Amino acid sequence: MFEQQLFNGLTLGLIYALIAVGYTMVYGVIELINFAHGEVYMFGAFLCVTIINSLGVPLFPAMVLAMGLCALMGVSIDHIAYKPLRKAPRLAALITAIGVSIFLQNIAMIIWGSRPVPFTRSAVPAAFSEQAFALGSVSVSGLQLFIYLFTTAMMIGLTLIINKTKVGTAMRALAQNATAAALMGINVNRVIAFTFALGSSLGAAAGILVAMYYNTMSATMGYNAGVKAFAAAVLGGIGSVPGAMLGGVVLGVAETLGAGYVSSQYRDGLGYAVMIAVILLRPSGLLGKSVGQKA
Amino acid sequence: MLSMTDIHTYYGSIHALKGVTLTVNQGEIVTLIGANGAGKTTSLMSVSGVTQPKQGKIVFLGEDITKMTTEKIVAKGITQVPEGRMIFPRLTVRENLLMGAYLRNDKDGVKADEEKVYELFPKMRERMKQHGGTLSGGEQQMLAIGRALMARPKLLLLDEPSLGLAPIVVENIFEIIQRINREGTTILLVEQNAQMALHIAHRGYVLETGAVTLEGPAKDLLENPKVRSAYLGLD
């Protein structure tokens, strides 16, 4: 029982982590909590299913296409809504982010309706619903295994981009000192756009995985997932990418264990209780840097 | 090489530069001295395109750069070492240097220039893999200068390189500035330490509340009674 819950929690946690890195990267470069990120996640799921249903594209290419479209969507959100507010007080951008979130939710309702929509079962490989392997009493489905492998590959890819490429180094430089980054000739807006593209495509992937996992999606699904992933990012230390990954996994596991051992009605509350406990003991989060010296 | 003509720059409603005019010729070290709040940093930020002037004209190598983005200006050959050094604290020394070469695509040239920076500042080679934030103040200033040199600038803007450093370190930094100049880089140096600045500069400008009030060869400014009493604390 415990081991099974752990594996289920890991599934959920890795998905939270995938959304959380989008929050934390954007916060890192422009100090904005991008509340519209949950809606990009939701659009990812709907776009993927729409591409499958209306164009007859198979699952994996549809997934890649939806991720690409969402990357474009993230860049457009930044360009239209946030870029004009770059020098405005952060509160103005924050309120704008909430506005963009509501706007996108309503657009989704107009396009796809306000009722939950199932994921196209016929597009999902049969192996995903079968047991992939069993470890003692633990049973892991094909989809769960895919989620483990896919999210891990994405996280490794993201870590390599951030740490080993020029644009990744520029992202970190920008997060540490925007004026100095500009003085190096770094095109700050282009690096910010790149950050949005990366985070949004990962968020879209998470939306698709969740919709497949629970076999449902709705225009409002981004709200809850968005708040959870934001909590995960804070838990890990906002601005820290490894922190967001760890925070997501911790939150997912805590929530699933809580649901299994205490009561499934309190699952959200238990997840947040863990977050609050961590923040009380370590205000900067698990892997966050203590603020104060922004040299 | 560089000329600023009647530059007016505002911060919101604050009129920070009230018609600054100055020139820098190829091969020179020109210093801009003045008190806190006189507009020295704003002058450099106007040249770099970080705070764009409302009025006036900045020409570099015959080209109007007044309205250009910082990215373009760096590409044209003007790099700034900002006040307070502004190194990237959680990038390694090497990553800091490579960010200086952000706009360059000539890998071999960048490699050669990195080697040059290590020759100029042997400490940087030792600390290559350390985070910038772990360096001492003097080392951070060396890193900031090294990082700017990685852009292979034609004109180097230096904002208060002596700030907060021990006198012996300041002397070392100023020697290096002279060496960089001898090797062919033109320098515009902003300093509160007027004594040091005027000793290494060819020419100087005195800035007071957003406008140039005195200018001339550095030697003459050192002798000028007004400069001696107001900026050098002599007489």
Q: Which residues contact B210 (CB under 8 A, 6 or more apart)?
A: B15, B16, B17, B18, B19, B20, B38, B39, B42
Share of chain B above pLDDT 70, in %: 99
Mean pLDDT of B172-191: 95
For residue B232, pLDDT beyond 90: no
The confidence score (pLDDT) of residue B37 equals: 85
Residue B57 host element (H or E): strand B55-60
For residue B44, pLDDT beyond 80: yes
Q: Is the CB of residue B53 less than 8 Å from the CB of residue B15?
A: no
The confidence score (pLDDT) of residue A284 equals: 87
Between A293 and A91, where is the model more confident?
Answer: A91
Q: Which two tokens stand for residue A89?
A: 């007080």
For residue A289, pLDDT beyond 80: no
Mean pLDDT of A163-179: 94
What is the pLDDT confidence band of residue A295, given thresholds at 50, 70 and 90? Answer: very low
Q: Is the CB of residue B132 less than 8 Å from the CB of residue B93?
A: yes
| CB-CB neighbors (< 8 A) of A288 in chain B | none
Please give the interface size between A and B, counted as residue pairs whose CB atoms are below 8 Å apart.
71
Mean pLDDT taken over chain A = 92
Report the alpha-carbon distance of residue B89 to residue A68 in Å, rounded: 33
Global pTM value = 0.91
Q: Is the CB of residue A116 less than 8 Å from the CB of residue A216?
A: yes
The confidence score (pLDDT) of residue A290 equals: 62
DSSP string, B8-19: EEEETTEEEEEE
What is the pLDDT confidence band of residue B235, given thresholds at 50, 70 and 90? Answer: low
How near does any CA of chain A get to the CA of B97, in Å?
10
Query: Which residue, among B207, B194, B197, B232, has the nearest Cα to B43 in the 3D structure?
Result: B207
**Contact yes or no for A289 and B50 at CB 8 A:** no
Mean pLDDT of B188-204: 92
For residue A111, pLDDT beyond 70: yes
Mean pLDDT of B119-143: 94
What is the pLDDT confidence band of residue A276, given thresholds at 50, 70 and 90? Answer: confident
How near does any CA of chain B get to the CA of A167, in Å?
9
Query: Residue B87's closest chain A neighbor by CA?
Result: A180
The confidence score (pLDDT) of residue B36 equals: 85
| SS3 sequence of chain A | CHHHHHHHHHHHHHHHHHHHHHHHHHHHHHCCCCCCHHHHHHHHHHHHHHHHHHHCCCHHHHHHHHHHHHHHHHHHHHHHHHHHHCCCCHHHHHHHHHHHHHHHHHHHHHHHCCCCECCCHHHCCHHHCCEEEEECCEEEEHHHHHHHHHHHHHHHHHHHHHHHCHHHHHHHHHHHCHHHHHHCCCCHHHHHHHHHHHHHHHHHHHHHHHHHHHCCECCCHHHHHHHHHHHHHHHHCCCCHHHHHHHHHHHHHHHHHHHHHCCHHHHHHHHHHHHHHHHHHCCCCCCCCCCCCCC
Q: What is the pLDDT of residues B59-117, one digit of tens each?
A: 999 999 999 999 999 999 999 999 999 999 999 999 999 999 999 999 999 999 999 99
Which whole-number Å values give the CA distances from A144 to A9, A139, A285, B157, B169, in the listed order? 11, 10, 28, 56, 60
Helix (H, G, I), strand (E, B) or coil at B182: helix
Share of chain A above pLDDT 90, in %: 74
In which residue are the tokens 């390694």 written? B92
The alpha-carbon radius of gyration of chain A (Å, integer) is 19
For residue A109, pLDDT beyond 80: yes
Report the alpha-carbon distance of residue B152 to residue B129 in Å, rounded: 22
DSSP B193: -
Nearest to B82 among A173, A179, A289 (CB): A179
Nearest to A169 among B70, B82, B95 (CB): B95
Chain A positions contacting chain B at CB under 8 Å are 166, 169-170, 172-173, 176-177, 179-187, 289, 293, 295
In which residue are the tokens 């016929």 written? A122
Which whole-number Å values give the CA distances from B103 to A177, A183, A254, B225, in the listed order? 18, 11, 46, 45
Mean pLDDT of A230-257: 91
The confidence score (pLDDT) of residue A239 equals: 87
Mean pLDDT taken over chain B = 93
What is the pLDDT confidence band of residue A292, given thresholds at 50, 70 and 90? Answer: very low
Report the alpha-carbon distance of residue B146 to residue B152 in Å, rounded: 10
Report the alpha-carbon distance of residue A205 to residue A151 in Å, rounded: 9
**Contact yes or no for B86 and A179 at CB 8 A:** yes
For residue B180, pLDDT beyond 90: yes
How near does any CA of chain A get to the CA of B104, in Å?
10
The confidence score (pLDDT) of residue A205 equals: 97
The confidence score (pLDDT) of residue B42 equals: 92
Query: Which residue, among B119, B98, B118, has the nearest Cα to B110 in the 3D structure?
Result: B98
The confidence score (pLDDT) of residue A293 equals: 42
Mean pLDDT of A198-222: 96
Lowest mean pLDDT among A113-117, A132-136, B148-152, B212-216: A132-136
**Contact yes or no for A166 and B95 at CB 8 A:** no
For residue A247, pLDDT beyond 60: yes
Q: Is the minimum CB–CB distance between B133 and chain A shorter than 8 Å?
A: yes
Q: Is the CB of residue A203 less than 8 Å from the CB of residue A254?
A: no
Interface subset of B 15-74, CB within 8 angstroms of A: 48, 50, 69-71, 74
For residue B233, pLDDT beyond 80: no
